């Protein structure tokens, strides 16, 4: 008894140290990512071309003033510092007379200020906040569909290896895996949107989240989710289920499964309790990586189906060189990716003792 608690205590200690080490590694990683992304984005284009909007280019005095107000005349490391910690604590020279007199207004990313969009003049955080739920609805639904179908298909086809079912499944998974997203999306739109509509049958909507005339009810959203979710799921189901199938085949061949069989356990118990546990383990890694990228949304799918999510936000504002928005979206994605990688690693060590004691 004491021996067991002692071992648990050591285990917890090892885990604690492991978690702390990973967190400490994640912080510099995020820092490096933010520097790289910042330098890249600041060289991407002229934000003032978008700032001008319909009034044409900003020229002469106005341009100088705007550049000064946006802080674009500062060296890039100063711009980065302002972006990171804000400039409300330092005097800036806003009227260009060479004397820094007024305090800045920016709070910096570390205090939750992602800046202001040069296109809509809205705070970036607010724009992201508006898009985030839409993207999460789309991505979480897809992820759930992917995991359920991939597990089901992968396991059943592994259990019936080389049967007709398995062969058909393997063929189909190759087809799905080789499908470019645009083709799949356009194909689904044509068959379930255009063709069914033309044939006078009930058809699936292909644009947006809801019918503007009906309003944003949950039936509308679900109805509009079908085709984008199908687009996002089919390709991933194909890839994941192949992965699960090969994992399952490997596990089924192992000694402990033979032992379970030899001692007379029911096939169901062996598959669902003994084999699945180990075969599904690597899925944790895959899903963990996916969850990190969930916030990024699905750029292509969202664009094709006009889904107002993060991917489309990025794409639309990339076309307009809206640097603060791009920076904000990319940083948010990076943080979520790094966070979920951390979470995945920790979950994995909990689930797989072989790693914990290495």
How far apart are the C-alpha atoms of 210 and 49, rounded to whole Å? 33
- Choose one: 88-96, 156-164, 175-183, 226-234; the region binding another protein (CB under 8 A): 175-183
**What is the nearest approach in angstroms of another protein to the Cβ of residue 151?**
22
Give how far the C-alpha of residue 94 lies from the chain's centroid of Cα atoms, to the nearest Å.
39
In angstroms, give the least distance from the CB of 25 to another protein: 8
Shortest spacing between CB 68 and another protein, in angstroms = 24
CB 243 → another protein: shortest distance, Å?
14
139 sits near another protein (criterion: CB under 8 A): no
Residues 196-235 that bind another protein (CB under 8 A): 198
Determine which residue in the list 10, 183, 214, 272 makes contact with another protein, applying CB under 8 A: 183
- Of 227 and 326, nearer to another protein (C-beta) is 326
41 contacts another protein (rule: CB under 8 A): yes
Residue 353 in the binding site for another protein (CB under 8 A):
no
Give every CB contact of residue 260 below 8 A, 6+ residues apart in sequence. 269, 270, 274
Note whether 210 and 226 are within 8 A (CB). no
Minimum distance, C-beta of residue 203 to another protein, in the bound complex (Å)? 12
Rg of the chain (C-alpha set)? 26
Helix axes 124-159, 218-252, angle to 10 degrees: 40
- Contact between 303 and another protein (CB under 8 A)? yes
Tally the C-alpha atoms within 13 A of residue 186's C-alpha that lie toward its C-beta: 5
Q: 5, 43, 55, 358: which one contacts another protein (CB under 8 A)? A: 43
Nearest approach, Cβ of residue 263 and another protein (Å) = 30
Site string for another protein, 119-138 (x = CB under 8 A): --------------------
Binds another protein (CB under 8 A): choice among 51, 329, 344, 349:
329
> Considering only residues 194, 207, 214, 266, which one is a binding residue for another protein as defined by CB under 8 A?
194
Q: Measured from the CB of residue 13, what is the shortest distance to another protein in angstroms? A: 24
User: Nearer Cβ to another protein, position 144 or 194?
Assistant: 194
Does 318 bind another protein (CB under 8 A)? Our answer is yes
Restricting to residues 258-297, which ones interact with another protein according to CB under 8 A?
A: 289, 292-293, 296
Give 159 or 299: the residue with its C-beta nearer to another protein: 299
End-to-end CA distance of the chain: 24
Q: Which residues bind another protein (CB under 8 A)?
A: 29, 32-33, 37, 40-41, 43-45, 174-175, 177-183, 186-187, 189-190, 194, 198, 289, 292-293, 296, 299-300, 303-304, 311, 314-315, 318, 321, 326, 329-330, 333-334, 337-338, 341
């Amino acid at each position: 008894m004491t021996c067991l608690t002692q071992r648990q205590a050591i285990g917890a200690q090892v885990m604690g140290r492991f978690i702390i080490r990973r967190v400490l590694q994640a912080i510099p990683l995020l820092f490096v990512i933010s520097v790289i992304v910042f330098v890249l984005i600041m060289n991407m284009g002229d934000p003032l071309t978008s700032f001008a909007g319909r009034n044409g280019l900003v020229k002469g005095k106005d341009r100088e003033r705007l550049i000064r107000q946006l802080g674009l005349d500062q060296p890039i490391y100063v711009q980065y510092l302002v972006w990171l910690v804000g400039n409300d604590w330092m005097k800036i020279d806003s009227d260009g007379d060479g004397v820094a007199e007024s305090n800045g207004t920016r709070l910096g990313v570390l205090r939750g200020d992602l800046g202001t969009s040069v296109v809509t003049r809205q705070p970036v955080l607010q724009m992201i906040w508006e898009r985030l739920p839409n993207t999460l609805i789309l991505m979480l639904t897809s992820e759930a569909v992917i995991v359920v179908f991939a597990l089901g298909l992968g396991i059943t086809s592994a259990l019936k290896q080389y049967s007709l079912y398995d062969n058909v499944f393997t063929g189909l998974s190759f087809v799905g895996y080789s499908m470019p997203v645009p083709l799949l999306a356009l194909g689904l739109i044509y068959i379930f949107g255009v063709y069914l509509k033309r044939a006078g049958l009930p058809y699936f909507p292909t644009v947006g989240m809801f019918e503007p005339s009906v309003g944003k009810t949950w039936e509308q959203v679900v109805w509009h989710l079908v085709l984008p979710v199908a687009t996002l799921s089919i390709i991933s189901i194909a890839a994941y289920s192949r992965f699960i199938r090969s994992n399952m085949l490997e596990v089924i061949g192992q000694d402990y499964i033979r032992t379970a069989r030899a001692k007379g356990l029911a096939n169901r118990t062996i598959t669902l309790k003994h084999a699945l546990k180990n075969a599904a383990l690597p899925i944790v890694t895959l899903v963990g990586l996916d969850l990190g990228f969930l916030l990024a949304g699905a750029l292509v799918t969202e664009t094709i189906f006009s889904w107002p999510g993060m991917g489309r936000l990025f794409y639309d504002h990339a076309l307009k060189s809206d640097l603060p928005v791009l920076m904000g979206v990319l940083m948010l994605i990076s943080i979520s990716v790094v966070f979920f990688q951390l979470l995945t690693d920790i979950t994995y060590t909990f689930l797989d003792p072989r790693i914990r004691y290495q």
